[in-house]
Structure formats: C-alpha cells, structure tokens
Amino acid sequence: MTNAVSPTSPLVLGAMMFGTTIDEHTSFALLDRFVERGGVWIDTADCYSFWASADGQGGDSERVLGRWLAARPGVRDRVRIATKLGAEPLWSGSWPSGRAGLSRRAVRDAFAGSLDRLGVEAVDLLWLHQEDRRTPIEETVEALAELTGAGLTRRVGASNHPAWRIERARAHARVIGSLPLDALQLNATYLRVRPGTRPPGVEHRFGVLSDEQRDYADAHGLEVWAYTPLLAGAYDNPAKEIPEPYDHVGNERRLAALDEVSAEIGATRGQTVLAWHVAHGVRPMLGGSKLDQLDAAMEAVRLPLTSEQLARLDAAV
C-alpha cells in the first residue's frame, strides 16, 4: 500500500447516507471540503444504507466514494478509507436475522465487493461491523489474516463487540501471527444513557461505549472511534429533543457543566462535546449533511480545553 498520509485532523467523516438521503453532488462537496480542511479518515460500510436504498440493500455509500475517488486524481494519497462488513442483509427485508455475518466466506466475499465498489486495491482499516455469535471469532480472525497478509487492508478493527470477544480475537491473532484488531468503533457522547437502555439507532447489545470497553482500549492501546457523538444535532437544535434514555438527574448536571465550559471557550454544546472527545483521545465521527456542520466540527476538534475544564466536565455526574 502506498497511502502514507499523516493524519492532520482527528475528525472522521461518516459517509453512511451518501448516495441515499445525501445526493451525490452534496456528498462530493462534503468530501472536498473535508480534504481541503485537513481531514483524512472517511468511514463507510458495505451495508450503507440499506434501510434508505431503493432495493433494500447496501452499497450506495461505497459506490459514491468510489466515483469521488475516481474523479479526484491523487486524492487517494491524501485520505484513509475505512469500511465495514458483516451487517449487510442477505436479501431485502432480511435484517437483522438474515445478515451476511462474519464467516470466512462471508468476510472474503463482502470485502471483495467493497473493493470493487470503492474502486481501490486496498483499504486502510477494515471493521467487523457487529458481532456474529454464529461464527467462532477465531474463524473471523483467520479470514482477516488472509486480507492483512495479502496487503488488502492496513489495519483491522471491530464495531459493536463486547470487550471479551475483542480479547479472544486479539489472542488468536497473536497465536497465528497476524495483525490484531487495534481499534474499536462504538456509540459514545458526553451524556450517559440510563443503565439498561440504549440510544435511538443503536441496535447492538454492546454498541454503547462502556467503562469496561474503554478501560480495555486504554490498557491495550486500541484506538476508539465514537459514532453519533452529537445526538443527531440535539445538543444545539431546539427543534430536536435529547433522546429519552439520556433523561436523568446525572445528565442535568452534565448539561450544566457543558453549558459552563461552552460559554467559556465560545463554542456550541456540540463543538464542546467534540473537543471533549478529542481531549480524551477519542476520534469523533461526523455524519452531517451540510457544509456548515462540517466546518463547525472541523473547528471544534481543534478547540483546546484546559485541564481544569476537562476535569469539571468529567466530574459532573
């Protein structure tokens, strides 16, 4: 692989709705602006976005990215592409019971399809989209080893997996001498959900970043990516309510601390949340559809928080 770009922004541009609810013209504009402002990581998946597509299957996002890469000679050397596999419906309407999964054959076939749609020879990070209890994790790791060994992906990571399966996967990778999973992608924001609840859109039992998952990542040097960090705009848009699972006394105190710090640094709540993630070494993901949203997020991840402000945000419970 020749892509040796150095990351200059911790923000990840999420391409989930490219080609479905976000048209190609807008998608290209967002991608261009992202690169112009120093963005590097672009995240997609083979199943994006089956729920919004005309045929009930994924692939539209990867196809749009592939056309953008083809239309921008040289841009591949300036960006890093991450995609996911394992959650694509086997047929329209079959999700979640009928999905591709993470067997050796499923991984091989899905990844070949992703490379074809993206129009690339390799990707920079391949995610296991969600766990597959039907398949031994060791089989999945061996399938990933074939891809990393052939130079088809630089790194491998896991989204929506419990910490114990990540550990088993990494242990087996060490046994067979392959590259271990080195990144986690999970739902994470400043507010905390009530125990036993999940935020809207999080279908996975282990989809919300827990203290255990974060502790595991810290102890073993795994990168953490946070999806839906801005609660779909609810931090700042008065027309959007903060989802009910976040409605509890502890979050009232956290919102008060967030308002205080936001006022001190001259930023919105959402921008402060992104800055808080970055201060904790977490890579936040943006899935917005407007250039002003992207600009605000690109500015936010460069906002400095003092150690005292960070401690105050962390202490609010």
Q: Is residue 223 part of a domain?
A: yes
d(CA 293, CA 160): 26
pLDDT, averaged per 10 consecutive residues of the chain (317 residues), comes to: 57 98 98 97 98 97 98 97 98 93 98 98 98 97 98 98 98 98 98 94 94 97 98 95 95 98 98 98 95 97 97 97
Could you tell me if residue 196 is left (phi over 0), alpha (psi between -120 and 50 degrees) or otherwise beta? left
Chain position carrying tokens 């031994």: 136
Q: Is residue 177 part of a domain?
A: yes
Q: Is residue 26 part of a domain?
A: yes
Q: Is residue 192 part of a domain?
A: yes
Q: Is residue 261 part of a domain?
A: no
Q: Is residue 48 part of a domain?
A: yes
In the chain, how many domains are there? 1
Q: Is residue 237 part of a domain?
A: yes
Q: Is the dihedral of CA 49, 50, 53, 55 positive or negative?
A: positive
- Provide the domain limits for residue 232: 12-245+269-305
d(CA 58, CA 82): 16
> What pLDDT score was predicted for residue 96?
87
Distance in Å from the first CA to the final CA of the chain: 45
Q: Is residue 255 part of a domain?
A: no
> What pLDDT score was predicted for residue 260?
98
Q: What is the CATH number of the domain that holds 82?
A: 3.20.20.100
